[in-house]
Amino acid sequence: MKKIKLAVVPGDGIGVEVVPRALRVLDTIADIHGGLSFEYEHFDYGCDYYLKHGDMMAADGMDRLRASDGIFLGAVGDATKVPDHISLWGLLLKIRREFELEINVRPAKVFKGIQSPLLNPKDFDLVVVRENSEGEYSSVGGRMYHGDNEIAIQNNVFSKRATKQAMDHAFKLAESRRRHVTSATKSNGIFHSMPFWDEVFKETATEYEGIDTVSQHIDALAATFVTHPERYDVIVASNLFGDVLTDIGAGIMGSIGIAPSANLNLNGKHPSMFEPVHGSAPDIVGKGIANPIGQIWTAKLLLDHHGEVAMGNLLLDTMEQVTAEGFLTPDVGGDKQTDEVVEALIRKLKSKA
Ligand code: NAD
Ligand code: IPM
Ligand code: MN
Protein backbone atom coordinates (compact mmCIF):
# COMPACT_ATOMS: atom_id res chain seq x y z
CA MET A 1 0.00 0.00 0.00
CA LYS A 2 1.41 3.38 -1.00
CA LYS A 3 0.89 5.90 1.79
CA ILE A 4 1.09 9.66 1.34
CA LYS A 5 1.47 11.57 4.60
CA LEU A 6 -0.05 15.02 4.31
CA ALA A 7 0.31 17.98 6.63
CA VAL A 8 -3.08 19.68 6.47
CA VAL A 9 -3.30 23.42 7.15
CA PRO A 10 -6.85 24.69 6.49
CA GLY A 11 -5.81 28.18 7.67
CA ASP A 12 -8.45 30.90 7.73
CA GLY A 13 -11.88 31.74 6.36
CA ILE A 14 -13.17 29.41 3.68
CA GLY A 15 -9.94 27.40 3.91
CA VAL A 16 -11.58 25.69 6.88
CA GLU A 17 -14.64 24.93 4.74
CA VAL A 18 -13.05 23.61 1.56
CA VAL A 19 -10.05 21.68 2.91
CA PRO A 20 -11.93 18.96 4.89
CA ARG A 21 -14.21 18.43 1.89
CA ALA A 22 -11.27 18.03 -0.46
CA LEU A 23 -9.80 15.46 1.95
CA ARG A 24 -13.01 13.42 1.66
CA VAL A 25 -12.56 13.53 -2.10
CA LEU A 26 -8.94 12.39 -1.76
CA ASP A 27 -10.07 9.49 0.44
CA THR A 28 -12.61 8.50 -2.20
CA ILE A 29 -9.85 8.53 -4.80
CA ALA A 30 -7.69 6.37 -2.52
CA ASP A 31 -10.55 3.83 -2.18
CA ILE A 32 -10.97 3.67 -5.95
CA HIS A 33 -7.23 3.23 -6.41
CA GLY A 34 -7.09 0.35 -3.94
CA GLY A 35 -3.35 0.58 -3.37
CA LEU A 36 -3.14 4.15 -2.11
CA SER A 37 -3.91 5.75 1.23
CA PHE A 38 -3.54 9.17 2.80
CA GLU A 39 -2.53 9.89 6.35
CA TYR A 40 -3.36 13.36 7.62
CA GLU A 41 -1.83 15.41 10.35
CA HIS A 42 -3.95 18.50 11.05
CA PHE A 43 -2.50 21.86 12.02
CA ASP A 44 -4.71 24.69 13.29
CA TYR A 45 -2.22 27.38 12.28
CA GLY A 46 -3.79 30.65 11.18
CA CYS A 47 -5.05 33.95 12.53
CA ASP A 48 -6.99 32.44 15.48
CA TYR A 49 -3.84 30.55 16.44
CA TYR A 50 -1.98 33.88 16.35
CA LEU A 51 -4.52 35.53 18.66
CA LYS A 52 -4.02 32.68 21.17
CA HIS A 53 -0.28 32.16 20.89
CA GLY A 54 1.19 35.35 19.45
CA ASP A 55 2.56 33.53 16.41
CA MET A 56 1.10 32.05 13.23
CA MET A 57 2.53 28.61 13.98
CA ALA A 58 4.13 26.65 16.81
CA ALA A 59 7.86 26.99 17.48
CA ASP A 60 8.43 23.48 16.10
CA GLY A 61 5.85 24.04 13.35
CA MET A 62 8.26 24.04 10.42
CA ASP A 63 9.90 20.79 11.60
CA ARG A 64 6.54 19.11 11.92
CA LEU A 65 5.45 20.25 8.48
CA ARG A 66 8.80 19.14 7.08
CA ALA A 67 8.12 15.59 8.25
CA SER A 68 5.27 15.27 5.73
CA ASP A 69 5.24 14.16 2.09
CA GLY A 70 3.29 17.28 1.17
CA ILE A 71 1.44 20.23 2.65
CA PHE A 72 -2.22 20.71 1.78
CA LEU A 73 -3.16 24.29 2.59
CA GLY A 74 -6.44 26.21 2.34
CA ALA A 75 -5.93 29.95 2.68
CA VAL A 76 -4.27 32.32 5.09
CA GLY A 77 -5.42 35.79 6.13
CA ASP A 78 -8.04 37.50 8.22
CA ALA A 79 -7.24 41.19 8.37
CA THR A 80 -9.90 41.75 11.04
CA LYS A 81 -7.66 39.78 13.41
CA VAL A 82 -4.07 40.08 12.15
CA PRO A 83 -2.56 42.45 9.55
CA ASP A 84 -2.07 40.56 6.30
CA HIS A 85 1.67 41.12 6.04
CA ILE A 86 2.09 39.57 9.51
CA SER A 87 -0.16 36.55 8.90
CA LEU A 88 1.18 35.84 5.41
CA TRP A 89 4.86 36.24 6.28
CA GLY A 90 4.27 34.14 9.41
CA LEU A 91 2.76 31.16 7.60
CA LEU A 92 2.20 30.98 3.85
CA LEU A 93 5.20 32.99 2.66
CA LYS A 94 7.34 31.57 5.47
CA ILE A 95 6.67 28.05 4.20
CA ARG A 96 7.30 29.06 0.57
CA ARG A 97 10.57 30.70 1.57
CA GLU A 98 12.00 28.28 4.13
CA PHE A 99 10.97 25.15 2.24
CA GLU A 100 12.47 26.58 -0.95
CA LEU A 101 9.21 26.29 -2.88
CA GLU A 102 10.70 28.28 -5.69
CA ILE A 103 8.28 27.34 -8.44
CA ASN A 104 4.55 27.92 -8.41
CA VAL A 105 2.64 26.09 -11.14
CA ARG A 106 -0.82 27.47 -11.90
CA PRO A 107 -2.92 26.06 -14.74
CA ALA A 108 -5.97 27.72 -16.30
CA LYS A 109 -8.28 26.30 -18.94
CA VAL A 110 -11.85 26.26 -20.14
CA PHE A 111 -13.55 24.31 -17.38
CA LYS A 112 -16.41 22.15 -18.69
CA GLY A 113 -19.75 23.24 -17.30
CA ILE A 114 -18.47 26.63 -16.14
CA GLN A 115 -19.29 29.64 -18.26
CA SER A 116 -16.25 31.76 -19.00
CA PRO A 117 -17.09 35.48 -18.87
CA LEU A 118 -15.37 35.81 -22.26
CA LEU A 119 -17.85 36.32 -25.07
CA ASN A 120 -16.49 33.64 -27.36
CA PRO A 121 -13.90 31.73 -25.38
CA LYS A 122 -11.70 29.59 -27.59
CA ASP A 123 -10.51 26.38 -26.01
CA PHE A 124 -7.65 27.77 -23.93
CA ASP A 125 -5.45 25.55 -21.79
CA LEU A 126 -2.36 27.17 -20.33
CA VAL A 127 0.00 27.02 -17.38
CA VAL A 128 1.70 29.91 -15.65
CA VAL A 129 5.06 29.07 -14.10
CA ARG A 130 5.56 31.69 -11.43
CA GLU A 131 8.94 32.34 -9.86
CA ASN A 132 7.91 31.91 -6.23
CA SER A 133 10.79 32.92 -4.01
CA GLU A 134 12.10 36.38 -4.83
CA GLY A 135 11.50 39.15 -7.39
CA GLU A 136 9.08 41.78 -6.12
CA TYR A 137 8.44 39.76 -2.93
CA SER A 138 11.91 40.33 -1.50
CA SER A 139 12.31 41.41 2.10
CA VAL A 140 15.07 43.85 1.12
CA GLY A 141 14.15 47.45 1.72
CA GLY A 142 12.82 49.54 4.53
CA ARG A 143 11.09 52.70 5.60
CA MET A 144 12.70 55.94 6.61
CA TYR A 145 11.83 59.48 7.63
CA HIS A 146 8.45 60.48 8.94
CA GLY A 147 5.33 62.35 8.02
CA ASP A 148 5.25 63.85 4.53
CA ASN A 149 8.91 62.95 4.06
CA GLU A 150 8.40 59.25 4.68
CA ILE A 151 9.86 56.91 2.07
CA ALA A 152 9.25 53.19 1.59
CA ILE A 153 11.86 51.28 -0.40
CA GLN A 154 11.20 47.80 -1.73
CA ASN A 155 14.07 46.25 -3.63
CA ASN A 156 13.29 43.60 -6.23
CA VAL A 157 15.72 40.71 -6.24
CA PHE A 158 16.35 38.55 -9.30
CA SER A 159 19.05 35.93 -8.92
CA LYS A 160 20.37 34.14 -11.98
CA ARG A 161 19.81 30.81 -10.26
CA ALA A 162 16.12 31.24 -9.37
CA THR A 163 15.30 33.06 -12.61
CA LYS A 164 16.93 30.36 -14.73
CA GLN A 165 15.29 27.64 -12.66
CA ALA A 166 11.80 29.07 -13.30
CA MET A 167 12.57 29.32 -17.01
CA ASP A 168 13.97 25.78 -17.17
CA HIS A 169 10.82 24.55 -15.48
CA ALA A 170 8.68 26.35 -18.04
CA PHE A 171 10.62 24.94 -21.00
CA LYS A 172 10.50 21.39 -19.62
CA LEU A 173 6.77 21.71 -19.10
CA ALA A 174 6.37 23.04 -22.66
CA GLU A 175 8.21 19.97 -23.99
CA SER A 176 5.37 17.82 -22.73
CA ARG A 177 2.70 20.27 -23.93
CA ARG A 178 2.34 22.41 -27.06
CA ARG A 179 5.99 23.51 -27.14
CA HIS A 180 5.43 27.22 -26.68
CA VAL A 181 6.82 29.47 -23.92
CA THR A 182 5.93 33.11 -23.34
CA SER A 183 8.07 35.24 -21.07
CA ALA A 184 6.26 37.97 -19.16
CA THR A 185 8.61 40.92 -19.17
CA LYS A 186 8.66 44.68 -18.64
CA SER A 187 12.12 45.46 -19.93
CA ASN A 188 10.89 48.68 -21.55
CA GLY A 189 10.18 50.24 -18.18
CA ILE A 190 12.00 48.41 -15.42
CA PHE A 191 15.61 49.31 -15.85
CA HIS A 192 17.73 46.64 -14.18
CA SER A 193 15.80 43.50 -13.38
CA MET A 194 13.73 43.03 -16.53
CA PRO A 195 16.50 43.38 -19.13
CA PHE A 196 18.31 40.79 -17.00
CA TRP A 197 15.17 38.61 -17.05
CA ASP A 198 15.13 38.87 -20.87
CA GLU A 199 18.79 37.86 -21.12
CA VAL A 200 18.23 34.77 -18.99
CA PHE A 201 15.18 33.90 -21.08
CA LYS A 202 17.16 34.16 -24.32
CA GLU A 203 19.97 32.07 -22.90
CA THR A 204 17.56 29.40 -21.64
CA ALA A 205 15.78 29.26 -24.99
CA THR A 206 19.02 28.23 -26.73
CA GLU A 207 19.16 25.12 -24.52
CA TYR A 208 15.84 23.68 -25.74
CA GLU A 209 15.12 22.51 -29.27
CA GLY A 210 11.91 23.07 -31.13
CA ILE A 211 10.20 25.31 -28.61
CA ASP A 212 8.63 28.53 -29.87
CA THR A 213 9.33 31.51 -27.68
CA VAL A 214 7.78 34.93 -27.28
CA SER A 215 8.76 37.73 -24.97
CA GLN A 216 5.83 39.97 -24.23
CA HIS A 217 5.48 43.00 -21.99
CA ILE A 218 3.25 42.23 -19.06
CA ASP A 219 0.82 45.07 -19.79
CA ALA A 220 0.22 43.92 -23.36
CA LEU A 221 0.25 40.32 -22.20
CA ALA A 222 -2.49 41.06 -19.67
CA ALA A 223 -4.70 42.32 -22.50
CA THR A 224 -4.01 39.41 -24.86
CA PHE A 225 -4.49 37.02 -21.98
CA VAL A 226 -8.11 38.15 -21.93
CA THR A 227 -8.72 38.61 -25.66
CA HIS A 228 -6.81 35.51 -26.88
CA PRO A 229 -5.93 33.16 -24.01
CA GLU A 230 -5.79 30.29 -26.51
CA ARG A 231 -2.52 31.72 -27.85
CA TYR A 232 -0.69 30.73 -24.66
CA ASP A 233 0.75 27.38 -23.68
CA VAL A 234 3.31 27.96 -20.90
CA ILE A 235 3.98 31.43 -19.51
CA VAL A 236 6.95 32.11 -17.27
CA ALA A 237 6.57 35.12 -14.99
CA SER A 238 8.17 36.82 -12.05
CA ASN A 239 6.60 36.48 -8.62
CA LEU A 240 4.28 39.49 -8.77
CA PHE A 241 3.50 39.33 -12.50
CA GLY A 242 2.67 35.63 -12.01
CA ASP A 243 0.46 36.44 -9.05
CA VAL A 244 -1.61 38.93 -11.00
CA LEU A 245 -1.72 36.90 -14.23
CA THR A 246 -3.02 33.83 -12.41
CA ASP A 247 -5.93 35.76 -10.91
CA ILE A 248 -6.73 36.95 -14.44
CA GLY A 249 -6.47 33.30 -15.48
CA ALA A 250 -8.94 32.41 -12.74
CA GLY A 251 -11.18 35.26 -13.86
CA ILE A 252 -11.39 34.11 -17.47
CA MET A 253 -12.15 30.57 -16.31
CA GLY A 254 -15.16 32.02 -14.53
CA SER A 255 -14.11 32.38 -10.89
CA ILE A 256 -11.14 32.73 -8.65
CA GLY A 257 -12.76 29.91 -6.66
CA ILE A 258 -11.69 27.24 -9.13
CA ALA A 259 -7.99 27.94 -9.81
CA PRO A 260 -5.38 25.58 -8.28
CA SER A 261 -1.69 25.84 -7.54
CA ALA A 262 1.33 23.74 -6.69
CA ASN A 263 4.31 25.30 -4.87
CA LEU A 264 7.15 23.00 -5.78
CA ASN A 265 10.36 22.22 -3.96
CA LEU A 266 12.84 21.08 -6.59
CA ASN A 267 15.87 20.18 -4.45
CA GLY A 268 14.17 17.34 -2.59
CA LYS A 269 14.95 18.81 0.82
CA HIS A 270 11.44 19.84 1.79
CA PRO A 271 7.84 18.91 1.03
CA SER A 272 5.97 20.76 -1.69
CA MET A 273 2.82 22.69 -0.84
CA PHE A 274 -0.54 22.58 -2.61
CA GLU A 275 -3.08 25.40 -2.22
CA PRO A 276 -5.75 27.04 -4.34
CA VAL A 277 -5.09 30.43 -5.91
CA HIS A 278 -7.91 32.09 -3.97
CA GLY A 279 -7.72 33.52 -0.47
CA SER A 280 -9.85 33.20 2.65
CA ALA A 281 -12.84 35.00 1.04
CA PRO A 282 -14.02 36.80 4.19
CA ASP A 283 -17.18 38.04 2.44
CA ILE A 284 -18.65 34.53 2.06
CA VAL A 285 -17.30 32.76 5.15
CA GLY A 286 -19.88 30.63 6.97
CA LYS A 287 -22.45 30.78 4.17
CA GLY A 288 -21.72 27.29 2.89
CA ILE A 289 -21.29 28.54 -0.66
CA ALA A 290 -17.50 28.53 -1.15
CA ASN A 291 -16.62 26.94 -4.45
CA PRO A 292 -14.69 23.78 -3.54
CA ILE A 293 -13.18 23.30 -7.01
CA GLY A 294 -9.99 25.32 -6.39
CA GLN A 295 -9.13 23.05 -3.49
CA ILE A 296 -10.22 19.90 -5.34
CA TRP A 297 -8.26 20.73 -8.51
CA THR A 298 -5.34 21.45 -6.17
CA ALA A 299 -5.75 17.88 -4.88
CA LYS A 300 -5.38 16.74 -8.50
CA LEU A 301 -2.06 18.60 -8.76
CA LEU A 302 -0.98 16.84 -5.56
CA LEU A 303 -1.92 13.45 -7.02
CA ASP A 304 0.00 14.25 -10.23
CA HIS A 305 3.02 15.31 -8.19
CA HIS A 306 3.01 11.98 -6.37
CA GLY A 307 2.94 10.07 -9.65
CA GLU A 308 -0.81 9.35 -9.58
CA VAL A 309 -1.58 11.05 -12.88
CA ALA A 310 -4.37 8.63 -13.87
CA MET A 311 -6.10 9.28 -10.56
CA GLY A 312 -5.56 13.03 -10.92
CA ASN A 313 -7.14 12.95 -14.38
CA LEU A 314 -10.05 10.85 -13.11
CA LEU A 315 -10.63 13.41 -10.38
CA LEU A 316 -10.63 16.45 -12.66
CA ASP A 317 -12.61 14.79 -15.47
CA THR A 318 -15.27 13.73 -12.96
CA MET A 319 -15.34 17.21 -11.44
CA GLU A 320 -16.00 18.64 -14.90
CA GLN A 321 -18.81 16.16 -15.48
CA VAL A 322 -20.38 17.26 -12.22
CA THR A 323 -20.19 20.95 -13.11
CA ALA A 324 -21.54 20.16 -16.58
CA GLU A 325 -24.56 18.58 -14.84
CA GLY A 326 -25.21 21.93 -13.14
CA PHE A 327 -23.68 21.48 -9.71
CA LEU A 328 -22.47 25.06 -9.45
CA THR A 329 -21.93 27.41 -6.51
CA PRO A 330 -23.13 31.05 -6.80
CA ASP A 331 -19.74 32.46 -7.87
CA VAL A 332 -20.12 30.53 -11.13
CA GLY A 333 -23.78 31.31 -11.60
CA GLY A 334 -25.35 28.39 -9.74
CA ASP A 335 -27.40 28.01 -6.59
CA LYS A 336 -25.74 24.96 -5.05
CA GLN A 337 -24.05 24.78 -1.69
CA THR A 338 -20.42 23.67 -1.31
CA ASP A 339 -21.63 20.36 0.10
CA GLU A 340 -24.00 19.64 -2.76
CA VAL A 341 -21.14 19.98 -5.25
CA VAL A 342 -18.82 17.81 -3.17
CA GLU A 343 -21.47 15.12 -2.57
CA ALA A 344 -22.27 14.99 -6.28
CA LEU A 345 -18.57 14.57 -7.06
CA ILE A 346 -18.10 11.80 -4.51
CA ARG A 347 -21.23 10.00 -5.78
CA LYS A 348 -20.02 10.12 -9.35
CA LEU A 349 -16.51 9.01 -8.41
CA LYS A 350 -17.95 6.04 -6.51
CA SER A 351 -20.12 5.12 -9.48
CA LYS A 352 -16.94 4.79 -11.54
CA ALA A 353 -15.14 2.60 -9.00
P1 NAD B 1 -9.96 36.24 -1.98
O2 NAD B 1 -9.48 35.28 -3.01
O3 NAD B 1 -10.06 35.73 -0.60
O4 NAD B 1 -11.40 36.79 -2.40
C5 NAD B 1 -11.63 37.56 -3.58
C6 NAD B 1 -13.09 37.38 -4.04
O7 NAD B 1 -13.24 36.06 -4.58
C8 NAD B 1 -14.09 37.50 -2.90
O9 NAD B 1 -15.27 38.10 -3.36
C10 NAD B 1 -14.38 36.04 -2.53
O11 NAD B 1 -15.64 35.78 -1.98
C12 NAD B 1 -14.22 35.34 -3.87
N13 NAD B 1 -13.77 33.94 -3.70
C14 NAD B 1 -12.52 33.55 -3.38
N15 NAD B 1 -12.48 32.21 -3.26
C16 NAD B 1 -13.72 31.77 -3.53
C17 NAD B 1 -14.30 30.47 -3.57
N18 NAD B 1 -13.60 29.36 -3.33
N19 NAD B 1 -15.62 30.37 -3.86
C20 NAD B 1 -16.35 31.47 -4.12
N21 NAD B 1 -15.85 32.72 -4.10
C22 NAD B 1 -14.55 32.87 -3.80
O23 NAD B 1 -8.99 37.52 -2.06
P24 NAD B 1 -8.89 38.80 -1.09
O25 NAD B 1 -10.23 39.26 -0.72
O26 NAD B 1 -7.95 39.69 -1.77
O27 NAD B 1 -8.16 38.27 0.21
C28 NAD B 1 -8.81 37.87 1.40
C29 NAD B 1 -7.76 37.36 2.37
O30 NAD B 1 -7.14 36.18 1.85
C31 NAD B 1 -6.62 38.35 2.63
O32 NAD B 1 -6.24 38.21 3.95
C33 NAD B 1 -5.55 37.88 1.68
O34 NAD B 1 -4.26 38.26 2.07
C35 NAD B 1 -5.71 36.39 1.77
N36 NAD B 1 -5.22 35.62 0.62
C37 NAD B 1 -4.60 34.45 0.91
C38 NAD B 1 -4.19 33.62 -0.12
C39 NAD B 1 -3.51 32.32 0.23
O40 NAD B 1 -3.51 31.91 1.36
N41 NAD B 1 -2.94 31.64 -0.73
C42 NAD B 1 -4.39 34.00 -1.44
C43 NAD B 1 -5.03 35.22 -1.71
C44 NAD B 1 -5.45 36.02 -0.66
C1 IPM C 1 -1.32 33.93 -3.85
C2 IPM C 1 -1.59 35.01 -2.85
C3 IPM C 1 -0.33 35.34 -2.06
C4 IPM C 1 0.73 35.83 -3.03
C5 IPM C 1 -0.55 36.37 -0.96
C6 IPM C 1 -1.66 35.96 -0.05
C7 IPM C 1 0.70 36.68 -0.22
O8 IPM C 1 -2.11 36.13 -3.48
O9 IPM C 1 -0.90 32.83 -3.45
O10 IPM C 1 -1.58 34.13 -5.03
O11 IPM C 1 0.78 37.02 -3.35
O12 IPM C 1 1.54 35.02 -3.45
MN1 MN D 1 -2.57 35.83 -5.57
Q: Which residues have C-beta atoms less than 6 Å from ligand 2?
A: 88, 92-93, 243, 277, 279
| Same-domain check for residues 162 and 245 | yes
| Same-domain check for residues 242 and 130 | yes
Q: How far is the CA of 276 from the centre of ligand 1 (A)?
A: 10
In sequence order, which residues have a C-beta less than 8 Å from that of residue 305 and are 6 or more positions away?
70, 262, 264, 272, 274
pLDDT score, position 43: 98
Q: Of 234, 253, 272, which closes a domain? A: 253
Q: Is residue 326 part of a domain?
A: yes
pLDDT above 70 as % of the chain = 100
Q: What is the radius of gyration, based on Cα positions, of the chain? A: 20
Average pLDDT over residues 118-128: 94
Average pLDDT over residues 18-36: 98
| Same-domain check for residues 159 and 238 | yes
DSSP 184-201: EE-TTT-TTHHHHHHHHH
| Same-domain check for residues 295 and 338 | yes
Tell me the pLDDT band of 133, cut-offs 50, 70 and 90: very high
Q: Is residue 108 part of a domain?
A: no
Q: Identify the domain containing residue 69 by its residue range.
A: 1-102+257-353
pLDDT score, position 224: 97
Nearest Cα residue to atom 5 of ligand 2: 88
CA proximity to 292, closest of 260, 262, 253, 265: 260
> Which CATH number covers residue 244?
3.40.718.10
Please tell me the total count of domains within the chain: 2
Q: Is residue 93 part of a domain?
A: yes
Q: Is residue 109 part of a domain?
A: no
Q: Of 253, 287, 322, which closes a domain? A: 253
pLDDT score, position 100: 98
Q: How far is the CA of 244 from the centre of ligand 2 (A)?
A: 9
Q: Is residue 220 part of a domain?
A: yes
Ligand nearest to the CA of 11: 1
pLDDT score, position 267: 96
| Same-domain check for residues 125 and 218 | yes
| Same-domain check for residues 194 and 268 | no
Nearest Cα residue to atom 9 of ligand 2: 277
How distant, in Å, are the alpha carbons of 94, 122, 175, 248 from that of 216?
A: 31, 21, 20, 16
| Same-domain check for residues 249 and 273 | no
| Same-domain check for residues 98 and 212 | no
Amino acid at 291: N
Q: Of 187, 222, 253, which closes a domain? A: 253
Mean pLDDT of the chain: 98
| Same-domain check for residues 218 and 149 | yes
pLDDT score, position 181: 99
d(CA 348, CA 248): 30
ipTM of the complex: 0.99
| Same-domain check for residues 125 and 199 | yes
Nearest Cα residue to atom 8 of ligand 2: 243
Determine the residue of 85, 256, 273, 341 to mutate for testing ligand 1's pocket, defined as the one with the most ligand atoms within 8 A of the Cβ atom: 256
Q: Express each pLDDT in 213-268 by its tens digit.
A: 999 999 999 999 999 999 999 999 999 999 999 999 999 999 999 999 999 999 99
| Same-domain check for residues 332 and 352 | yes
Q: How far is the CA of 247 from the centre of ligand 3 (A)?
A: 6
